[in-house]
């Protein structure tokens, strides 16, 4: 799989700590694409696995003029075998999605959009520095659907002041996937300063959790199933790209500040150098066996699929089972006997049955029966309450 980072935004949103810069003139785009094409040629040998997903993230990829996007897609086709790509995603901001731009994206081969809607309240959108209005967001989804996009993800942010979403104006039929993220105040952002100066007052934890539950309920009533702490999908429409990150599938990250992973080693690209506009692979880290286990726990416990004990090296299994037991006892995790041989589950079966979100399935093992089952065939999954505590549980389990 390939991730491609587009580092430009029209302007900085107040909460944003991603690597992005304002685009100063169209020349910046041209220089960036030239450097990206050079990187593709240089690193094309690093992607040994079949490429099934390509994801343009940012930044704001939809800021790029069509001609520059076309140069990138041509470059990808020249440097890599894209014949097995199933999911070709572009992150987009609503204000960029005009009917012409959308139909050109279809012609270039994009088959999935991830649209940054964030809120359906114009006051909230202004507060966090977004450029679009709720009306523009709704129109963008209509236009995308009309242009031929039938796999559209919408991003929302909760934990904003006065955070009740007015979904009465929203047409869930236009989308297949939702990502809903809690607003976090990252150090050094404009929001951080506003909060410290008392100019913005954010809701407390209890209210944020209330908003999360309210959103989750509305998404489920609209036919979406939660498959990760922040992600919901209609059956068959989970993000294949993100699911592969959580499976620890190797990927190649292109562009400034992009990360790559080859199954053993993580590599980081530098940001764009001032003046030259170039970047390079800046640093790398070879993961130890315990690093790999920690990563698996950190990502898998955020998914409803959880993790198979067989995917933990045998040397760590007994100790880990002991540490997991209190979380099973308090109802944050449940144990299921697994029939799949590994965590690399075929795409068609990535979805957890809806019922498992709410009620541990009837095959839930009692502590007694789990002792009689070969440990490697056990899967540990978070309950809905456990999902809320996934990061804390993982931190306690770290080797
Ligand atoms: S559009 Fe996205 S990447 Fe750009 S500043 Fe806003 S949140 Fe950050």
| Residue in 248, 241, 242, 240 with CA at minimum distance from that of residue 349 | 240
Q: What is the C-alpha to C-alpha distance for residues 146 and 103, in angstroms, rounded to an integer?
A: 9
The answer, yes or no, to whether residue 306 has pLDDT greater than 70, is: yes
* pLDDT exceeds cutoff 60 at 367: no
CA of 323 to the centre of ligand 1 (A): 39
- Pick the residue whose CA is nearest to atom 5 on ligand 1: 12
User: Looking at the predicted structure, is the pLDDT value of residue 349 above 50?
Assistant: no
pLDDT tens digits for range 174-198? 999 999 999 999 999 999 999 999 9
> Measured between alpha carbons, how far is residue 7 from residues 25, 75, 105, 256, 276 in Å?
14, 18, 19, 7, 15
Determine which residue's CA is closest to atom 6 belonging to ligand 1. Answer: 13
Q: How far is the CA of 308 from the centre of ligand 1 (A)?
A: 36
Tell me the pLDDT of the chain averaged across its residues: 88
Is the link from the previous residue into 184 a cis peptide, with omega within 30 of 0?
A: no
Instruction: Indicate the pLDDT class of residue 20, thresholds 50, 70 and 90.
Output: confident
pLDDT at 25: 62
For residue 60, report the distance from its CA to the centre of ligand 1, in Å: 7
- Place 96 in a pLDDT band, splitting at 50, 70 and 90: very high
Ligand 1 center from residue 258 Cα (angstroms): 16
Q: 135 pLDDT exceeds 70?
A: yes
The alpha carbon of 21 and the centre of ligand 1 are apart by a number of angstroms equal to: 9
Q: What domains can you pick out in the chain, each with its CATH number?
A: 2-246 (3.30.750.200), 289-397 (no CATH)
Ligand 1 atom 2, closest CA = 59
Residue 232 has pLDDT above 80, yes or no: yes
Which pLDDT tens digit goes with each residue over 199-218? 999 999 999 999 999 999 99
Q: Compute the distance from residue 91 Cα to the ligand 1 centre, in Å.
A: 11
* Ligand 1 probe mutation, 20, 124, 125, 258, most atoms within 8 A of CB: 20
Q: Is the pLDDT of residue 378 over 60?
A: yes
Instruction: Please state, in angstroms and rounded to a whole number, the distance separating the CA atoms of residues 238 and 243.
Output: 8
CB 59 within 8 A of CB 93: no
Are 281 and 259 in contact by the 8 Å Cβ rule? The answer is: no
Q: What was the pLDDT predicted at 162?
A: 77
Distance CA 57, CA 90 (A): 7
State the pairing for strand pair 252-254/225-228. Answer: unpaired
Instruction: Spell out which residues line ligand 1, taking CB within 6 angstroms.
Output: 9, 12-13, 16, 18, 20, 58-60, 93, 116
């Amino acid at each position: 799989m390939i991730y491609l980072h587009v580092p430009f935004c029209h302007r900085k949103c107040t909460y944003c700590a991603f690597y992005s810069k304002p685009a100063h003139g169209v020349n910046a785009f041209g220089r960036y694409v030239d450097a990206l094409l050079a990187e593709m040629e240089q690193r094309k040998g690093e992607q040994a696995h079949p490429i099934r997903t390509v994801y343009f993230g940012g930044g704001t990829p939809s800021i790029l003029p069509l001609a520059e996007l076309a140069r990138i897609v041509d470059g990808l086709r020249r440097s890599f075998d894209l014949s097995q790509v199933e999911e070709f995603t572009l992150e987009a901001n609503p204000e960029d999605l005009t009917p012409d731009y959308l139909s050109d994206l279809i012609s270039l081969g994009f088959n999935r959009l991830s649209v940054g809607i964030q809120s359906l309240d114009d006051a909230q959108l202004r507060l966090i520095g977004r450029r679009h209005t709720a009306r523009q967001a709704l129109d963008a989804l209509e236009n995308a659907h009309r242009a031929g996009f039938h796999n559209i993800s919408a991003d929302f942010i909760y934990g904003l002041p006065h955070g009740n979403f007015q979904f009465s104006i929203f047409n869930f039929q236009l989308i297949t996937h939702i990502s809903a993220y809690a607003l976090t105040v990252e150090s050094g952002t404009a929001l951080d300063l506003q909060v410290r100066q008392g100019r913005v007052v954010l809701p407390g934890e209890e209210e944020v959790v209330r908003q999360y539950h309210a959103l989750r309920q509305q998404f489920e009533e609209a036919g979406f199933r939660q498959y990760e702490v922040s992600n919901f999908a209609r059956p068959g429409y989970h993000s294949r790209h993100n699911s592969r990150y959580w499976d620890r599938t190797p990927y190649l990250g292109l562009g400034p500040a992009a990360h790559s992973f080859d199954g053993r080693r993580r590599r980081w690209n530098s940001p764009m150098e001032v003046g030259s506009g170039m970047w390079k692979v800046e640093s790398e880290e070879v993961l130890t066996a315990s690093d790999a286990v920690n990563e698996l726990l950190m990502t898998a416990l955020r998914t409803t699929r959880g993790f198979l004990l067989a995917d933990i090296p045998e040397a760590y299994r007994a100790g880990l089972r002991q540490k997991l037991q209190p979380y099973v006892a308090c109802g944050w995790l449940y144990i299921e006997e697994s029939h799949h041989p590994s965590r690399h589950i075929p795409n068609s079966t990535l979805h957890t049955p809806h019922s498992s979100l709410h009620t541990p399935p009837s095959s839930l093992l009692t502590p007694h029966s789990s002792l009689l089952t070969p440990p490697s065939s056990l899967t540990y999954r978070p309950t809905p309450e456990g999902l809320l505590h996934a990061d804390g549980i993982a931190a306690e389990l770290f080797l």
